[in-house]
Structure 1
Amino acid sequence: MTAPAPARPLADLMPAARDLAEQVGGIPSRNRIMTELRVGAPKATALREALIAEAAAAEVVPDPWTFAESTDVPAPVSPAPAGSAAVSASGLGGPEQVSPAPASGLAETEQVSPPVPAVYPRAAAVEASPQVAADGHPGTSPAPRRARRVSTWPLVLIGLPAFVAIWAGWVGLGGLTGFGVVHPLPGIADGFSINTAITLPIGVEVYAAYSLRAWLSGTAPARARRFAKWSGIGSLVVGALGQVAYHLLVAAGITSAPWWITTAVACLPVAVLGMAAALAHLMHDDAEVTR
């Protein structure tokens, strides 16, 4: 049966305890000392009390930017009681006065004299530098610059000739495909008449503008934007084909459009109505689901 290992004196354990205090940035707990240094509870308590005494006796306030450690200040050494080990004033390898250890070797209680005051580096609290504005005054930020809005009056100059050309082309194509003047209120207002050809530019072009607004605004739901994108592009393509068809028929001297052009033009009001209703339904339905 092997004899128990001799107990390490506190003088040998103090350097490791100081290193542990430096690592944690303060006085470690008794359990931490027991775990890291592999000592019993009495010796861990004694080491912790020694570290507390060192920190209390320290008179030098550490500079947060330079972690200097001083061990040149002597401390009074109190006589160690009988049955305990006394650590010398040097604390780090000086002469030791150790009384004979008891036979148990593990349950002894060692009293440590006040050691040399030491300064333990602590984590420096680095404060964030104040924000410096463009004018050089700290603590302030430059005022946000408002984006300059683009003038919309050039759209009037662009839209007026386009409106005249598109309106004339659709009304002319409507006349070539059977659209014309009708009396929508017979027996009620016999004198009231309207040219049904105006339904083409109003329906097709207004829906194209409405769908593009729903697509590009970014406020409509995802499904509604997707439908508005493709239906709006399709409306613009159909409007361009209608203008091409009208000018080709007029340039060729044709007074009545072929049947397939008449069929396509006659279906436009119904198609526009269906797309507008579908887009409004998608926007309303997705808004309800989101809410």
Structure 2
Amino acid sequence: MSIPMRSTYPVPVEDLVPAARKLAAKTGGVPSQNRLMKEFRIGKDKARAVRLALIEEDATVTGTHLHTVPDPVETAPETEAELTHDEMPRAAEEGASPQVTPPVEPVIVADPPKSEGVPAAALPEPANEPTRGARPVRSWPVLLLSLPAFIAVWSGWVGLGELTGFGVVHPLPGIADGFTINTAITLPIGVETYAAFALRVWLSRQVSATARRFAGWSALGALILGGLGQVAYHLLDAAGVTQAPWQITTVVACLPVAVLGMGAALAHLIHERPSENGEK
């Protein structure tokens, strides 16, 4: 392949087209702009013009089927060393400085992690949300269940309280002498109400772990005491006892105080804040 002779004048595009045509026939397609610049040591503008001339030229003139090859990303900067002797004077006359094109780095996009092949235990469990369209569970049947239990428990505690010294008192002497109250009702109100409330706190997830633990143990203790109180009353009543033994009287007399202490402690635990080390 013959390259046009160098001279002090720029080589016209028409003189470079025949040599570029031979290069195209050799490569089997229109050379890229960078290839023309390297082969003929010409500038970017002239290489672009030669390439356009080859594209527009009829392929039947040379008998070679030419197809366009897309230019790759220009990663090599165009410097003064790549300009030929005939291009440098023109660049100096135009006052243009060679432009350095920074290399284009490919952007790598990380694929999102796939959950395929991951054990089911490693995946987060879905939140327990109610199914759409499902009817909520009604709580009104609890009232029917608690009504007979309330009557039985109330009568048992009041009867046991009367056997252990609880009875009618005047809570406001000198103020309302005619106002009386039976202190035996303090037993079912205190013990059973605290057991139900502590059970509710234990099953709730809106309090600290310490409050739930205390509520659970105290609720079980209150329910056990309530059951033992019912058993004690029915045994004493069936035996015809009119005054409970001192052991039972001692335990029953301490129940209001115990209920007050456990209720106050549980109320403080419900409203406590996490400690500085993050423990609850």
TM-score scaled by length of structure 1: 0.51
Residue 75 of structure 1 is matched in structure 2 by 30
Q: Which amino acid aligns with 1:159?
A: S
Q: Which amino acid aligns with 1:74?
A: G
Rounded Cα–Cα distance in structure 1 between residues aligned with 2:241 and 2:201: 39
Rounded Cα–Cα distance in structure 2 between residues aligned with 1:190 and 1:240: 36
**Matched residue count:** 168
Question: In structure 2, do the counterparts of structure 1 residues 160 and 288 end up closer, same or farther at CA, with 3 Å as the change threshold?
Answer: farther
Residue 159 of structure 2 is matched in structure 1 by 172
Deviations along 1:179-209, one digit per CA (max 9) or x if unpaired, are 1111111111111100000000000000011
Task: Tell me the CA shift for residue 220 of structure 1.
Answer: 1.4
Task: Tell me the CA shift for residue 73 of structure 1.
Answer: 5.3
Task: Tell me the CA shift for residue 214 of structure 1.
Answer: 1.2
Map 1:149-168; keep pairs closer than 5 Å: 149-168=136-155
Rounded Cα–Cα distance in structure 2 between residues aligned with 1:241 and 1:232: 14
Rounded Cα–Cα distance in structure 2 between residues aligned with 1:220 and 1:147: 28
Question: SS at the partner of 1:145?
Answer: coil
Residue 122 of structure 2 is matched in structure 1 by none
Residue 259 of structure 1 is matched in structure 2 by 246
Task: Tell me the CA shift for residue 224 of structure 1.
Answer: 1.1
Question: SS at the partner of 1:186?
Answer: coil
Residue 186 of structure 2 is matched in structure 1 by 199
Map 1:1-291; keep pairs closer than 5 Å: 74-76=29-31, 80-81=39-40, 145-286=132-273
Unaligned runs of at least 5 residues, structure 1: 1-71, 83-107, 112-121, 127-143
Rounded Cα–Cα distance in structure 2 between residues aligned with 1:171 and 1:259: 17
Q: Which amino acid aligns with 1:218?
A: R
Task: Tell me the CA shift for residue 284 of structure 1.
Answer: 2.0
Question: In structure 2, do the counterparts of structure 1 residues 152 and 80 end up closer, same or farther at CA, with 3 Å as the change threshold?
Answer: closer
Could you say which structure has the larger radius of gyration?
2
Tell me how large the CA RMSD over aligned residues is.
3.3
Rounded Cα–Cα distance in structure 2 between residues aligned with 1:195 and 1:287: 43
Q: Which amino acid aligns with 1:258?
A: P
Question: In structure 2, do the counterparts of structure 1 residues 80 and 149 end up closer, same or farther at CA, with 3 Å as the change threshold?
Answer: closer
TM-score scaled by length of structure 2: 0.53
Residue 102 of structure 1 is matched in structure 2 by none
Dislocated runs of 4+, deviation >3 Å: 76-82, 122-126, 287-290
Rounded Cα–Cα distance in structure 1 between residues aligned with 2:234 and 2:274: 43
Greater relative CO (CA pairs within 8 A, separation 6+):
1
Tell me the percent identity. Answer: 64
Task: Tell me the CA shift for residue 146 of structure 1.
Answer: 4.4
Deviations along 1:216-270, one digit per CA (max 9) or x if unpaired, are 1211122111111111110000000000100111111111111100000000000
Rounded Cα–Cα distance in structure 2 between residues aligned with 1:239 and 1:198: 14
Unaligned runs of at least 5 residues, structure 2: 1-26, 42-80, 85-106, 112-130
Question: SS at the partner of 2:173?
Answer: coil
